[in-house]
């Protein structure tokens, strides 16, 4: 698990890579084929970025998950590697675990928060009688 966590931390800290899949896509006016093509394009862009910039980390994760070593992952057919990546993508428990390594989002406050309503000590301590 340390091998997976270490690789995941390095990959998820690459904000440019994460941004390739983190942007909202507009599907308005698209048919199913267009939507699939757009999603496939984003997925391909993400995988290409991982292979280009994080091959060592990705292969380390694949090796740990598949109970093998990095050399075996490097030497296996590309199709097998992509199948393993697809399996990781579909594993919700693993995705939740890997997501825990992502830095928290720093969102700007869109508007001031409403003040917390004040209650008197009497309201807090005395139960309301049904009417």
Q: Is 131 within the bounds of a domain?
A: no
Q: Is 127 within the bounds of a domain?
A: no
Confidence grade of residue 106 (pLDDT, cut at 50, 70, 90): very low
Q: Is 113 within the bounds of a domain?
A: no
Whose CA is closest to 84, among 76, 17, 4, 92?
76
Q: Is 123 within the bounds of a domain?
A: no
pTM of the model: 0.55
Q: Is 114 within the bounds of a domain?
A: no
Q: CA-CA distances (angstroms) from residue 81 to 28, 61, 89, 125? A: 33, 11, 12, 62
Q: What is the pLDDT of residues 20-61, one digit of tens each?
A: 666 666 777 888 888 778 777 777 777 887 788 888 888 988
Q: Is 67 within the bounds of a domain?
A: yes
Instruction: Supply the range of the domain harboring residue 69.
Output: 2-104
Confidence grade of residue 107 (pLDDT, cut at 50, 70, 90): very low
Bin 29: left if φ > 0, else alpha if -120 < ψ < 50, else beta: left
Q: Is 125 within the bounds of a domain?
A: no
Q: Is 109 within the bounds of a domain?
A: no
Q: What is the chain's mean pLDDT, rounded?
A: 74
Counted domains in the chain:
1
């Amino acid at each position: 698990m340390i091998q997976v966590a270490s690789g995941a931390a390095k990959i998820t800290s690459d904000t440019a890579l994460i941004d390739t899949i983190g942007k909202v896509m507009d599907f308005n006016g698209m048919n199913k084929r267009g939507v699939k093509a757009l999603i496939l394009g984003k997925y391909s862009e993400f995988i290409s970025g991982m292979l280009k910039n994080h091959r060592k980390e990705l292969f380390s994760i694949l090796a740990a998950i598949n109970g093998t070593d990095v050399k075996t992952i490097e030497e296996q057919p590309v199709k097998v590697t992509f199948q393993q990546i697809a399996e990781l993508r579909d594993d919700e428990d693993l995705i939740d675990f890997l997501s825990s390594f992502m830095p928290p989002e720093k969102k700007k406050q869109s508007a001031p928060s409403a003040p917390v309503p004040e209650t008197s000590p009497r309201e807090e301590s005395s139960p309301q009688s049904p009417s």
